[in-house]
Structure 1
Amino acid sequence: MTQPSNDGYTRKLNATTLSKLLVVAVMMFGFGYALIPVYKQICELTGINLLTPKDATVEPVANTQVDKSRTITIEFDANAQGPWRFRPTVSSMQVHPGEMAQVVYEVVNTQPRSIDAQAIPSYAPQQAAAHFKKVECFCFQQQTLKPNEAKQMPVVFYVDPALPRDVKIITLSYTFFEIGGSAKTAS
């Protein structure tokens, strides 16, 4: 004896289950998609996790540690102890203590070989050294100059407002030395 076929009933049950699962999947996707603007609205209303101010006319907060009552002249100097040209792009600038500033030094390797070099800073007057703060400087690490390569190297700095008031001019001087002395030929 053969058993009666439930094939039609099983197909109908499977189709109903599949359609229910598809509806649930579409609803889950729609819910997740709708959460983005809802989340942004909730964050805006509560003031949580705001990345930008709502009013575009808001003034940026000024650095209150800048001493606008004083102006310091920074003079830049460069000494080359090797086969290259080395110089600052400007000879001097004026800054207020606490104000961030940047100067760029240029170096050109005039040799047909790679050279490893390091810059060593010095300051005048000597008491200014403790108050001259470099945030970024090419002197922090060794430089490798490829044959006939030219590089522009920035120095980002500020002068500590605790600099004695009688110091009006600071000279920042770099001496650029070859390191190792072993010649690397161009490849």
Structure 2
Amino acid sequence: MTDASAKNRRIVLICSGVVLGMTGLSFAAVPLYDMFCKATGFGGTPMVGTAGASRVIDRTIAVRFDANVSPALGWRFDAEQTEITARVGETQTVFYKITNTSSRPATGIATYNVQPSQAAAHFVKIQCFCFTENTLQPGESIEAPVVFYIDPEIEANRELASLKSITLSYTYFPSKSGQPVAESKGDAAKSSL
């Protein structure tokens, strides 16, 4: 084999390796990004905790609860309380009521966000119904709890020193196999009839 063909072969192998590596990274990007957001609170993703805060401080912050439903789902979704005043570090529980108002069984999944997004790194959910499929029969209702606290480390964040309120927003979408299903224009037209 000549030097030129050996060099060309090495270049082909390197390029093939780069293509395979990039393909593998593209499949891993979504789960890796999700783990990154949960670990850092990036992009309004609340932190996930397993137990309450180690301390409670005197600062209070209003927490607002927003509930939205895709028109294609045919559900009613409301927070039982639209706002509470929470002491920083104190574990809170708020319930949402979900009702299938359609005439057919439906499966939905909720996504969430925290605003302002800088506060997400300090909003710690201990229990949540988000990203869990729920199938409701026609007329069936369930109550779903959210257990959370605001991390006392928020005091160390100068950007959030004047923060008075946080909004926890959920949106329910139709789902299939644990993933939200995109709504087509035809579905939106049917649901508005």
Structure 1, unaligned stretches of length 5 or more?
A: 1-62, 182-187
**Aligned Cα root-mean-square deviation (Å):** 1.5
TM-score if structure 2 supplies the norm length? Answer: 0.58
User: TM (normalized to structure 1)?
Assistant: 0.60
In the alignment, the residues of structure 2 paired with residue 140 and residue 99 of structure 1 have an alpha-carbon distance, to the nearest angstrom, of 24
- The answer to whether structure 1 residue 135 and structure 2 residue 126 are counterparts is yes
Residue 83 of structure 2: aligned partner? 92
**Count of residues paired in the alignment:** 118
- Rounded to whole Å, the distance in 2 between the matches of 1:64 and 1:135 is 14
Q: What is the distance in 2 between the residues matched to 1:179 and 1:171? A: 24
Partner of 1:158: 149
Deviation at 1:140, TM superposition (A): 4.2
Q: Does 1:78 align with 2:67?
A: yes
SS at match of 1:66: coil
Q: Could you tell which deviates more after superposition, 161-170 or 171-180?
A: 161-170
Tell me the secondary structure at the aligned position of residue 109 of structure 2: strand
Q: CA deviation at 1:65?
A: 0.7
Give runs of aligned pairs for residues 118-129 of structure 1, distance below 5 A: 118-129=109-120
Query: Greater Rg, structure 1 or structure 2?
Result: 1
Query: What is the CA-CA distance between 1:113 and the residue it aligns to?
Result: 1.7
The alpha carbon displacement at 1:162 in A equals 1.4
Hey, what's the Cα distance between the residues in 1 that align with 2:54 and 2:150? 14
Structure 1 runs of 4+ aligned residues shifted over 3 Å read none
Q: Which residue among 56, 73, 86 is the counterpart of 1:66? A: 56
Q: Paired residue for 2:92? A: 101
Is 1:167 the counterpart of 2:163? The answer is: yes
What is the letter of the counterpart of residue 139 of structure 2?
N
Looking at structure 1, the residues matched to 153 and 112 of structure 2 have their Cα atoms a distance apart, in angstroms, of 21
The percent identity for this pair of structures is: 42
Q: In structure 2, list runs of 5 or more residues that go unmatched.
A: 1-52, 155-159, 182-193
2:173 paired residue among 165, 172, 177:
177
Q: Give deviations 1:87-135, integer Å, cap 9, x for gaps.
A: 1011100111110001111111012221111111111101111111111
Q: Which structure: greater helix fraction?
A: 2
Look up the SS of the partner of 1:113 in the other structure: coil
Aligned-partner SS, 1:129: helix
